[in-house]
Amino acid sequence: MIGPKLEAIIGIEVHAQLATATKLFCACPNRFGCAPNANTCEVCTGQPGALPVLNEGALALAVRAGLALEAELQPLSRFDRKHYFYSDLPKGYQITQWDRPLARGGRVELGSGESIGLERIHLEEDAGKALHGDGETLVDLGRAGVPLIEVVSRPELTSAREACEYVERLREILRYGRISSGDMEKGALRCDVNVSMHHPGAPLGTRVELKNLNSLRHVREAIDFELERQSSLLTGGQTVEQETRSYDPVAGATRRMRGKEDGADYRYFPDPDLPPIALDTGLLQREAAALPDLPAARRERYISELGLSDYDADVLTRNRELCDLFEDAVRLGGDPKRAANWITNDVAAARAGEKSAPEVLEREELAGALVELIELVEDGTASTPAARTILARLLRRGGRPRALLESLSLEQVSDETDLGAWCRAALAQDPDAAAAVRAGNDKAIGALIGAVMRASSGRADPGGVRRLLTSLITEQA
Ligand code: ZN
Ligand code: MN
């Protein structure tokens, strides 16, 4: 375990693929999941004499990221060559930005309201992919030249949990701005994490870089493992070596890849094929206009203006699509608290369950349907379970709530005569539950209400059922 005296210092470099149509310096499609080496040309495979040309769309998205993260966009930035040799890098160098990044500073706000500062944001190209297996290595250059932004945090994170939240919040902002898909399972967002430990007041410890963590779980596990490894070295009087390590999720351990290289080893120099980028005010204005309300601002507004709880506002704003749906529903007259409940519970669950299913309803139609559904429950026409059935169907096949309610015969039954028959049957079937209620166990009535709801296919008015059951049980006593 981590000794009480050691403190952890964590910094993260996030590489996020930009959601452009084409690659950073050529016209090849920027598309995931194609046949190996399908999307390649002389530029992204590094053929002699081929010249890169900057994709303005990628620059625009990187600028948008800078604005969204409140960074200072630099009037002049520049591309450099970073040299190293690897099979997935045919040019022998990566085009990136070294001493003149696109943006400096910026921040990511955590749920606690604290900010994690950013060092810089720069543009660079992705490398290809080396696939190792069975004594041979295959290289897929389909990803070579895909545009990336690298977002470098300050070393201000102090735990694995905080590091994961930082990545989640950053990903949220990139998704809101339609800057990156952020899909970690597709490699669209990868993390390099720097970890060191020191005694409070003492100089910072030697840092170890954990390379290419491509899921939040790996980020958490790798940091936790590393903190334990370093603290046991340090408390045992040993030193931590500066090195680059990878994480093996099967073993749950980090492993040494190589000693750490520094800037000089890469022989950076300005790329003579690419002119410096002078930031254009028109581009800045266009991107500022394209920037949606970001999650932190929306959370704030939902709590202060719409009366949502911190929890609901947080759940809702973790997904821009749900957020936009919520705002449409409120605009169409839906009660904010109820709309938030339906969306964060039922709509979110349905969406998560059928990721690939096409969306039958336009967002605004769905928002309208939700408002109608909330009204139906409100005025007692539909029970909540019936409304849930209708919503599940709406999401699959479309349609309108009121019409569905009728065609599925799901109108709520509140008539005491009808409810009475169901209630008596439930009591007869489960005398133990009735006895438990009589003995003072109020919760036992839930089983009886559940039985009535099932018998009525969700049509019985649960409030009426509870009242009736209570009085029937008292009568029996
Ligand atoms: Zn290409
Ligand atoms: Mn990088």
What's the Cα-to-Cα distance from 466 to each of 93, 137, 288, rounded to whole Å? 72, 67, 54
The predicted structure's pLDDT at residue 279 = 95
How many angstroms does the Cα of residue 212 sit away from the middle of ligand 1? 24
13 forms beta bridges with: 152, 192
Ligand nearest to the CA of 41: 1
How many angstroms does the Cα of residue 22 sit away from the middle of ligand 1? 9
368 with 401: CB under 8 angstroms? no
How many angstroms does the Cα of residue 142 sit away from the middle of ligand 1? 8
The predicted structure's pLDDT at residue 360 = 76
The predicted structure's pLDDT at residue 477 = 67
The predicted structure's pLDDT at residue 3 = 47
How many angstroms does the Cα of residue 198 sit away from the middle of ligand 2? 26
Per DSSP, the residues of 14-74 read: EEEE---SB-SSSSSB--SSPSTT-S--TTTTT-TT------HHHHHHHHHHHHHTT-EE-
The predicted structure's pLDDT at residue 357 = 55
How many angstroms does the Cα of residue 28 sit away from the middle of ligand 1? 4
How many angstroms does the Cα of residue 229 sit away from the middle of ligand 2? 26
Q: Is the per-residue pLDDT at 459 higher than 90?
A: no
Average pLDDT of the residues in 216-224: 97
Ligand nearest to the CA of 90: 1
How many angstroms does the Cα of residue 141 sit away from the middle of ligand 1? 9
Ligand nearest to the CA of 95: 2
Q: Is the per-residue pLDDT at 2 higher than 80?
A: no
54: nearest Cα among 281, 290, 284, 275? 275
CA–CA separation, 312 vs 329, rounded Å?
Answer: 15
How many angstroms does the Cα of residue 253 sit away from the middle of ligand 2? 23
Give residue-wise pLDDT tens across range 349-359.
888 776 545 67
Question: Amino acid identity of 433?
Answer: A
How many angstroms does the Cα of residue 59 sit away from the middle of ligand 2? 16
Average pLDDT of the residues in 424-440: 91
More confident residue, 120 or 475: 120
Average pLDDT of the residues in 169-195: 96
